[in-house]
Amino acid sequence: DQQVKQNSPSLSVQEGRISILNCDYTNSMFDYFLWYKKYPAEGPTFLISISSIKDKNEDGRFTVFLNKSAKHLSLHIVPSQPGDSAVYFCAASGLGNSGYALNFGKGTSLLVTP
Amino acid sequence: DAGVIQSPRHEVTEMGQEVTLRCKPISGHDYLFWYRQTMMRGLELLIYFNNNVPIDDSGMPEDRFSAKMPNASFSTLKIQPSEPRDSAVYFCASSRGRTSGNTIYFGEGSWLTVV
């Protein structure tokens, strides 16, 4: 039972344009959400997070939006750069569901073309 | 500061053999996680520890898998006997738990191939 879902396995965007990666979750107990970035042959690295008390968090070119009523979050990358090409994982956690562990989506592979 | 350190980075073994994966978490982190990544299931949690005590092992696939954390700086994940379907990337991760916003930090992974 996948509680965090990333329905787009891949996304291709031109350099300079906006990349929008989407994520849906089913567990209403989740209260903390994170995005990780993964390059081939490396471990996932933390990118940005958001608490359920907020609906937006921004860090440079990266912004995460949270819509709790829809159980949906998205990651916006503006402007996209070729170095952003990687697999992006959405993750969520909440007390009452594996406690402090993170539940991950299956990832979206982003390709930013020059 | 050193990150999460995993060994071996790559392991090729024959079916039926015992496999031991090792992890050294980031110093000061009191949570340690073992995840497995496969194409079919993505990143799935196998087990996690808090202060060296296993908290949730519901993700461990079956009795062939076991994990230990004898002290705050070392953990092992053992598969005995190994099977081809165990082929995956195994990640160890650590965190300070919710005091750090629940951000967990991953090692580079151990790539396991069982033939």
* pLDDT tens-digit readout, B5-22: 999 999 999 999 999 999
Instruction: Give the 3-state secondary structure of residue B8.
Output: coil
Which residues on neighbouring strands pair with residue A109, listed in sequence order?
Answer: A10, A87
Beta-carbon count within 10 A of A35 CB: 23
Q: Write the pLDDT tens digit of every residue in A26-35.
A: 988 888 999 9
What is the predicted pLDDT for the residue at A29?
86
Tell me whether residues B43 and A42 touch, CB distance under 8 A.
no
- For residue A5, the model assigns a pLDDT of 95
Question: How far is CA A29 from each of CA A26, A90, A94, B110, rounded to the nearest angstrom?
Answer: 9, 16, 5, 32
In whole angstroms, give the CA distance from residue B30 to residue B44.
20
Report CB contact under 8 Å: B104, A43: no
CB atoms within 10 A of CB B35: 27
pLDDT tens string B49-94: 999 999 989 899 889 999 999 999 999 999 999 999 999 999 999 9
Q: Which of A16-25, A96-105, B99-108 has the weakest average pLDDT? A: A96-105
CB contact under 8 A, B102 and A103: no
β-strand pairing of B88-95 with B110-114: antiparallel
> Closest Cα of chain A to B30: distance in Å?
11
pLDDT digits (tens, 9 = 90+) for A4-43: 999 999 999 999 999 999 999 998 888 899 999 999 989 9
pLDDT higher than threshold 70 for residue A95? no
> CB–CB of B21/B69 below 8 Å?
no
Work out the pLDDT band at A97, boundaries 50, 70, 90: very low
**Cα–Cα distance measured from residue A107 to residue A88, given in angstroms and rounded to the nearest whole number:** 5
pLDDT band at B101 (very low <50, low <70, confident <90, very high): low
Which amino acid is located at A80 in the chain?
A: S
Q: Do B109 and A42 touch (CB under 8 A)?
A: yes
Pull the structure tokens for residue B111. Answer: 């790539």
Stretch among A12-16, A55-59, B95-99 having the lowest mean pLDDT: B95-99
Question: What percent of chain A stands above pLDDT 70?
Answer: 95
Q: What is the rounded average pLDDT for all residues in chain A?
A: 92
Mean pLDDT computed over B10-39: 95
Residue B4 has pLDDT above 60, yes or no: yes
Residues belonging to chain A with any Cβ–Cβ distance to chain B shorter than 8 Å: 2, 32, 34, 36, 41-46, 49, 51, 89, 93, 98-107
- pLDDT value of position B23: 98
Report the 10 Å Cβ neighbour count for B94. 26
- Answer left, alpha or beta for residue A28, where phi above 0 means left and psi between -120 and 50 means alpha: alpha
**What is the C-alpha end-to-end distance of chain A, expressed in Å?**
38
| Chain B residues interacting with chain A (CB cutoff of 8 angstroms) | 4, 31, 33, 35, 41-45, 48, 50, 55-56, 58, 91, 93, 95, 97-98, 101-109
CA distances from A14 to A5, A11, B56 (A): 25, 10, 42
Backbone dihedral region for residue B83 (phi beyond 0: left; psi -120 to 50: alpha; all else: beta) = beta
Residue B102 to residue A102, Cβ atoms within 8 A? yes
